[in-house]
């Protein structure tokens, strides 16, 4: 069974640009979550999608947005990039049963210059 797939693995962007990251969940998983990992803040929750609807949202500015498609694939968009957005962005999927663990992809490393 294929794991969570994230593309691209690495991205370099300049300040002010926008970026779109992609995530394909494990087959059968309808819940997809996004996390940001930085050295100073650790892993922080961005948002969760289920059946194409945002079900939960973290404390990030509106520049961070996402969506989910009918096949459960998800995209995350960051507009007007800032230097502080440089991070590892992790996507995770899970079965929609109570307390089922998240399964993470290997992440997209975003560098903003």
Partner 1 sequence: DQQVKQNSPSLSVQEGRISILNCDYTNSMFDYFLWYKKYPAEGPTFLISISSIKDKNEDGRFTVFLNKSAKHLSLHIVPSQPGDSAVYFCAALLFGNEKLTFGTGTRLTIIP
What residue ranges bind partner 1 (CB under 8 A)?
Answer: 4, 31, 33, 35, 42-45, 48, 55-56, 58, 90, 92, 94, 99, 101-107
Q: Tell me how far apart the alpha carbons of residues 65 and 56 are, in angstroms, rounded to a whole number.
A: 12
What would you report as the CA-atom Rg of the chain, rounded to the nearest whole angstrom? Answer: 13
Pairing of strands 53-57, 108-112: unpaired
In the complex, the smallest distance separating the C-beta of residue 26 from partner 1, rounded to whole angstroms, is 12
Q: Tell me how far apart the alpha carbons of residues 87 and 18 are, in angstroms, rounded to a whole number.
A: 14
> Would you say 8 and 107 are in contact if contact means Cβ atoms under 8 Å apart?
no
Nearer to partner 1 (CB atom), residue 81 or residue 105: 105
In the complex, the smallest distance separating the C-beta of residue 38 from partner 1, rounded to whole angstroms, is 10
Nearer to partner 1 (CB atom), residue 18 or residue 27: 27
In the complex, the smallest distance separating the C-beta of residue 107 from partner 1, rounded to whole angstroms, is 6
């Amino acid at each position: 069974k294929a794991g969570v797939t994230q593309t691209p693995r690495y991205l370099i962007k300049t300040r002010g640009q926008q970026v779109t990251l992609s995530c394909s969940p494990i087959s059968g998983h309808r819940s997809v979550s996004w996390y940001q990992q930085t050295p100073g803040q650790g892993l922080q929750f961005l948002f969760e999608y289920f059946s194409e609807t945002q079900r939960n949202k973290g404390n990030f500015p509106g520049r961070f947005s996402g969506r989910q498609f009918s096949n459960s694939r998800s995209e995350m968009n960051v507009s007007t990039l800032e230097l502080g957005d440089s991070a590892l962005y992790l996507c995770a999927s899970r079965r929609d049963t109570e307390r089922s663990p998240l399964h993470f992809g290997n992440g997209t490393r975003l560098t903003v210059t």
